[in-house]
Amino acid sequence: MSALPIASKLIWVWAGVCGLIVVASCVLVLLLWRRIAEDKKRKFIIDHKSRWKKYIYAAIYSPISLNEDSLPELEDLDRQIILDLALDIMRGMEGQDNRRVVEMLSLWGMQAFIYKTARTTSKGRRIRALTLLGYFSDDVSIAVLLEALQDRDVYVRLAGLRALAVRKSVQYLQQILQSLTLNGTVNIPLLADTLRRFGEPVVVPLLNIIRDKGLNADVRAACIKALGSIKPLEAVNDLIALLAEENAEIVFQSLDSIGRIGDARAIYGVLALTKRPQPEIRAKASQVLGLLQQSEAIPSLSDSLTDENWSVRFQAAQALYKIGAKGVAILRAHAGNQDRAGIMAAQMLAEMEG
C-alpha cells in the first residue's frame, strides 16, 4: 500500500475535524451572543421595572391630580412591565390607593392590552391579567371575566372567579356555580374559598341556595362552608335546620360552620348528632360542642367518652376540657377507671395539664 492514499485519507480526516471545530465554534459564539442578548434584555427589564415602580409609587402618593399629559409615554415592552407591577403593588394595597393605580392604567390606555393578555397569551400571563381586572369597575372587563368562566383551563376559570369575587359581582353567582361544575363534579373547598371572597354581599344568595334541596348536594355543601368563613349570624337558623338532613356532607359542613360562627342557639341540634351512625359526624358534633362551651352538653359528652370510635372519644374529652371546671370534673371522675372512657380522660388530662 502506497503512502499517498493514506496521506489523502488523513487530510480528509483532519479537514473533517477542522470543519467540526469551526461549526462548534460558531455554535458557541451564537450561544454566547444569545446569552449576552438575554442578559442585556433582562437588565433592561430590571432597570425599567425599577424606574416604573418608583414612578407609580410617587404618582399614588402625589397630591396632584393625574391626567394624560402628566404621564410619560409607554413603549411596547413597558406595557407588560406595568401590568405586572400594578398587580404586585395593588395586592398589598386597598381602597383609594388601588383606585389611583386603576386611574393611572386607564389614562395610559392599558385596558386594551390587559383584555388582550387575558384572552390570548400564555396561561400565567392570562391569570395575572384576569386577577388585575378584579380591581377595575368597567363593563368590558366584566365581559372578559365572564368569558374566562368558560375556559377549558380550571386555573384560568379560577382567576376569573376570584376577580369577580374581588368586585363583589354577586349577580353572576349562577355563572360562577356553573363554571365550577363544568366537568360534572364539584370541588367543595375550591368553590367555598371562591364564594367566601365575596363577603357579606353573597350571604342572602347563599342562604337561598342552601335552602333548595333540589340543588346539587356538593354545591350546597360548598355554600354552607363559605357561610362558615363569612360568619353571618343570620345563617344560624338555616344551619340548624340543615343538621336534620340525611346527606352526611351537608350535615358535616353545617356543623363546621356552626362551630365557626359559635352561636349557642345551635346547642340542641348539635347534641342530637352525637348519636348519629356516622362516626365522623359524631366526632364533629363533639368538637363543635367544645367550641360552643355550653354546660348542657356535658352529659352527652360524658356518654361519648365510651364511644367505640377513638376520634369520637378524643373530641368528647377535648370538648369537656374546653367547657371548663364542670367538664374537667367529669374527666377526673372517669380518669380513675380502666375502661375506654377512663383511659381517654386520663390521656386528655395528662396532655392538657402535664
Give the dihedral sign, CA 192/198/199/200. Answer: negative
- Which residue, 247, 170, 258, 254, is CA-closest to 216? 247
Task: Identify the CA nearest to 214 among candidates 169, 247, 179.
Answer: 247
Q: What is the DSSP string of 197-216?
A: TT-GGGHHHHHHHHH-TTS-
Please tell me if the domain spanning 79-90+98-167 has the same topology as the one spanning 176-261: yes
Mind listing the pLDDT tens digit of every residue in the chain (354 residues)?
Answer: 455 566 666 676 777 777 778 887 788 888 777 777 776 777 777 777 888 888 888 888 888 888 888 888 888 888 999 999 999 999 888 777 888 899 999 999 999 999 999 998 899 999 999 999 999 989 999 999 999 988 888 889 889 989 999 888 888 888 888 776 665 667 889 889 989 999 999 999 999 999 999 988 999 999 999 999 999 999 999 999 999 999 999 999 999 999 999 999 999 999 999 999 999 999 999 999 999 999 999 999 999 999 999 999 999 999 999 999 999 999 999 998 899 999 999 999 999 886
* CB-CB neighbours of 109 under 10 Å: 11
The CATH code for residues 265-353 is 1.25.10.10
Cell numbers for 341: 372512657
What's the DSSP call for residue 171? G
Domain ranges of the chain: 79-90+98-167, 176-261, 265-353
Which CATH class, in words, describes the domain spanning 176-261?
mainly alpha
CATH 1.10.760.10 fits 79-90+98-167, yes or no: no
